[in-house]
Amino acid sequence: MNGNVTDKNSRRSKKVADWILTGVLLIGSLVMIIPFIWMVLTSFDWAARLKIPFPPRFWPEEFSFKTYQMAFTNIPMLKYMINSIIVSVGVIVVSLLSAVFSGYAISKLKFKGANIVLLLALSTMMIPFEMTMIPQYLMFAKIKLLDTYWSFFLPALNYAFGTFLAKSFIDQLPGSLREAAIIDGANEFTVFVKVYLPLCIPILATMIILQFLAVWNDLLWPLLALKTPDKYTIQLGLAMFSYNKDLPLPSVIMAATTVSLTPVIVLYLFLQRYIVESIALSGVKQ
């Protein structure tokens, strides 16, 4: 009898805890998504102003698609987005190759000093970019690579967080796969490319999204490195446009910003299942 009462109280407490957790998560989600919804709705409001009216309103006062038309006619959106895609793809390719090669070497080759190499790589993450950007700027100015996309690609060789992610993921993959392939006559490069690399797709997808978000939304380094307007990335181009005193309407900025987020949303929707899979596989033991 007492046992049934205890179980019933336990289930009731668990249900209350679940409801509280669900409520907290819903509130947190709303807090994060409301600015995005406000931005999208404002992009359709021809009468929108940067000053928030009182009482606040979400629905556009003067609904119009003309703001998007003005965004594309007043701002070289396509040019900026193509530039951002070039920079993002280049950085992703370089950083992923660097991360997965080094992660595999540290995880499976077990060479002397591997842990020290990983520790040194991770220690670079402790230094904020604001402390290294001036030396980095001077170095690229010295070798005359400023105002080129190489100033984005070369720093991507040091993707310490990616190395850590790749190493942790490859640690979970069986070492017996490597031993069997070597017995069959495969060399180390073949083992990596044909055996382990296809198994690393989930963690590669995770790194692609993380790097794409970081590069696509970056403003500080493009502001320092790029001087030619034709080479501006989307965030730098929009920032420069927002300082234009002949700016037509704030809603045009919101329309341009909404368009600039489209590739990020599409990429996330396309790769999100791989992220879930990488998290699930991280618990698999050899």
Q: What pLDDT does residue 88 have?
A: 95
Going by pLDDT thresholds of 50, 70 and 90, the confidence category of residue 25 is very high
Q: What pLDDT does residue 66 have?
A: 86
Question: In angstroms, rounded to a whole number, what is the distance separating the alpha carbons of residues 215 and 218?
Answer: 5
Instruction: Report the pLDDT averaged over residues 153-157.
Output: 93
For 63, phi then psi, to 5°, come to -65, 130
Is the separation of the CB atoms in 146 and 140 below 8 Å? yes
Instruction: Report the pLDDT averaged over residues 228-246.
Output: 84
Question: In angstroms, rounded to a whole number, what is the distance separating the alpha carbons of residues 14 and 279?
Answer: 26
Residue 63 pairs in a beta bridge with 45
Pairwise pLDDT comparison (43 vs 83), residue with the higher score: 83
Is the separation of the CB atoms in 270 and 264 below 8 Å? no
Instruction: Report the pLDDT averaged over residues 239-253.
Output: 74
Pairwise pLDDT comparison (115 vs 285), residue with the higher score: 115
Instruction: Report the pLDDT averaged over residues 227-246.
Output: 84
Q: What pLDDT does residue 84 have?
A: 94
What confidence tens digit (pLDDT) does each residue in 80-128 have? 999 999 999 999 999 999 999 999 999 888 788 888 888 888 888 888 8
HSE-CB for 162 with a 13 A CA cutoff? 28
Q: What SS3 class is residue 63?
A: strand
Cβ partners under 8 Å of residue 150, min gap 6: none
pTM above threshold 0.85: no
Q: What SS3 class is residue 45?
A: strand
Q: What pLDDT does residue 75 have?
A: 85
Pairwise pLDDT comparison (119 vs 1), residue with the higher score: 119
pLDDT at 50 over 70: no
Q: What SS3 class is residue 113?
A: coil
Instruction: Report the pLDDT averaged over residues 31-42.
Output: 87
Most confident option among 3-12, 16-25, 44-53: 16-25
Going by pLDDT thresholds of 50, 70 and 90, the confidence category of residue 14 is confident
Question: In angstroms, rounded to a whole number, what is the distance separating the alpha carbons of residues 252 and 67?
Answer: 5
236 burial via Cβ count (<10 Å: 0-12, 13-18, 19+)? buried
Tokens 């670079």 -> residue: 124
